[in-house]
């Protein structure tokens, strides 16, 4: 069965009045988990770069599906199945609107950004990258945007080139320009570094990639929760993100690809629902995006993601970004007062992520002690070992902020770090 195309019916609206100032106190009640305690203390959840918390609207959307809509999609002629199919395809169009893709057929549902990158590497890369071709990555990349390309390069004899970073954690763009050459087939870059928070100038980088005759993939896993995304303005060929980092459920993500590129790519996996005809002699495939969604998909996850995007849109990413920048400045100012603490990654343009080290305590010890104070942070290399190697450190402690975090959360972090100091002194 072909994918149902849902057309947008937007009508021009009068300019909206200025949005009221954002306060996290207005929305914290929407998140059930923020009401719990940890080790008998108020929970200060500061691990949003790993996964975000889920508002009741997302939980309700998924519960509603299982309570009253649960059926397999694209396969049934009965009412429940057609309702589930329509809801799934409406969710696909909701994603299209959120990132301003040109066509709903450019949206592929996957398990997350990691699977999306692997899909591109296996399908597009396996078809278009040959021995001697080059793929450009950056030092800032998450392992999920390194390992699939490394595997592809080893398989076909291609070469990986890496854009270095300066001490602040910013890409050396002059070095990037020097790396581009006629052998460059793809530039795959993160939009926002999960380890340092650096926001990369992806529009400029995509433009330079195209000028060199290469395609460009942007890993938006860390940018979609913080920045308005317009894939047509970025002009990227591929864009990937995970639902669970933008208040959606785990196990659902998105691959955006330009329609001509996606249609030319071979299937990534075989199975049910991605075919038109099957015989033992030959199989013909459904058009994209369905040919990349073999088997029963995460239907409830897609509906939960759509609910999350509705929730975020209702607040407004401009308001979210503005508030998070203020909270980031407050947190950085507080943390820099702590003796022996060094922030790793001080880019001029960064999202609400603070990686730091203490001269007298290992990051894992810091995280353990903070946990006892009700503060949840991430410690380790954050799946970014090349970043750690660049700074000559094994790991950092990372506090990553979201729009539902408050100054009280930051203050609780600072008090927890004072407890760390007491333990080690």
User: What residue spans in the chain does CATH classification 3.90.1150.10 cover?
Assistant: 24-46+317-424
Q: Is the pLDDT of residue 161 over 50?
A: yes
As a whole number of angstroms, the distance between CA 271 and CA 74 comes to 14
Residue with the bigger pLDDT between 76 and 191: it is 191
The number of C-alpha atoms within 13 Å of 261 and in the hemisphere containing its C-beta is 21
| Reported confidence tier of residue 76, pLDDT bands at 50, 70, 90 | confident
Q: Band of the pLDDT at 14, cuts 50, 70, 90? A: low
DSSP H or E stretch at residue 396: strand 396-400
With a cut of 80, say whether residue 122 has pLDDT above it: yes
247 carries an active-site annotation: no
Query: Is the pLDDT score of 9 beyond 80?
Result: no
Cis peptide preceding 289, ω within 30 of 0: yes
What's the rounded Cα separation, in Å, for the pair 294 and 292? 6
CA 116 to chain centroid: 11
Residue ranges, comma separated, of all CATH 3.40.640.10 domains in the chain are 61-313
Edge to edge, what strands does the sheet with 378-380 contain? Answer: 341-344, 353-358, 396-400, 378-380
Residue-level pLDDT at 285: 94
pLDDT bucket at 7, cuts 50 / 70 / 90: very low
CATH: 3.30.70.1710, 3.30.420.40, 3.10.20.740, 3.90.1150.10. Which one for 24-46+317-424?
3.90.1150.10
Taking residues 231-240, report their average pLDDT.
Answer: 98
pLDDT at residue 8, as a whole number:
42
Asked if pLDDT for residue 118 goes beyond 90, the answer is yes
| pLDDT, mean of residues 28-34 | 98
- Give per-residue pLDDT as tens, 307-362: 999 999 999 999 999 999 999 999 999 999 999 999 999 999 999 999 999 999 99
Average pLDDT over residues 39-58: 98
Contact indicator for 65, 300 with CB cutoff of 8 Å: yes
What DSSP character marks residue 224? T
Mean pLDDT, range 46-69, rounded to an integer:
98
Catalytic residue among 172, 236, 247, 383: 383
Give me the pLDDT at residue 425, please.
79
Average pLDDT over residues 242-264: 98
Is pLDDT at 15 greater than 80 in this prediction? no
Average pLDDT estimate for 111-140: 98
Indicate the fold that domain 61-313 takes in CATH. 3.40.640
- pLDDT at res. 18: 58
How high is the pLDDT of residue 226? 97
Question: Phi, psi at residue 137, to the nearest 5°?
Answer: -120, -175
What percent of the chain shows pLDDT beyond 70? Answer: 95
Average pLDDT score over the chain: 95
């Amino acid at each position: 069965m072909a994918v149902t195309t849902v057309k947008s019916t937007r009508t021009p609206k009068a300019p909206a009045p200025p949005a009221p100032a954002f306060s996290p106190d207005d929305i914290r009640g929407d998140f059930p988990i923020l009401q719990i305690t940890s080790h008998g203390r108020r929970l200060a959840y500061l691990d949003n770069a790993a996964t975000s918390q889920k508002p009741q609207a997302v939980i309700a959307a998924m519960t509603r599906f299982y309570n009253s809509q649960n059926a397999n999609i694209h396969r049934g002629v009965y009412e429940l199945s057609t309702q589930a199919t329509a809801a799934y395809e409406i969710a696909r169009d909701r994603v299209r609107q959120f990132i301003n893709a040109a066509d709903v057929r450019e949206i592929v549902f996957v398990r997350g950004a990691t699977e999306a990158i692997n899909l591109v590497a296996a399908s597009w890369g396996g078809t278009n990258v040959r021995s001697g071709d080059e793929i450009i990555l950056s030092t800032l990349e998450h392992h999920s945007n390194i390992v699939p390309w490394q595997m592809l390069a080893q398989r076909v004899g291609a070469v990986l080139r890496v854009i270095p970073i300066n001490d602040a954690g910013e890409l050396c763009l002059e070095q990037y320009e020097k790396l581009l050459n006629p052998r460059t087939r793809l530039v795959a870059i993160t939009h926002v570094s999960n380890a340092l928070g650096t926001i990369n100038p992806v529009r400029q980088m995509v433009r330079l990639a195209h000028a060199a005759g290469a395609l460009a993939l942007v890993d938006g896993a860390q940018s979609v929760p913080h920045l308005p995304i317009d894939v047509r303005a970025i002009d990227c060929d591929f864009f990937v993100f995970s639902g669970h980092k933008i208040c959606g459920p785990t196990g659902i993500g998105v691959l955006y690809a330009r329609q001509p590129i996606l249609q030319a790519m071979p299937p990534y996996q075989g199975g049910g629902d991605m075919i038109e005809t099957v015989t033992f002699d030959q199989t013909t495939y459904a058009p994209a995006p369905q040919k990349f969604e073999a088997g029963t998909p995460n239907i409830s996850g897609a509906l939960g993601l759509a609910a999350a995007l509705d929730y975020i849109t209702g607040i407004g990413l401009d308001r979210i970004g503005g508030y998070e920048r203020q909270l980031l400045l407050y947190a950085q100012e507080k943390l820099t007062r702590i003796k022996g603490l060094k922030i790793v990654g001080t880019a001029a343009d960064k999202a609400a992520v603070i990686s730091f080290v203490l001269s007298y305590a290992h990051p894992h010890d810091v995280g353990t002690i903070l946990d006892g104070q009700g503060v949840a942070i991430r410690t380790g290399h954050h799946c970014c070992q090349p970043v750690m190697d660049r700074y000559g450190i094994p790991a950092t402690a990372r506090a990553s902020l979201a729009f539902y975090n408050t100054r009280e959360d930051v203050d609780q972090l600072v008090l927890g770090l004072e407890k760390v100091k007491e333990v080690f002194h």
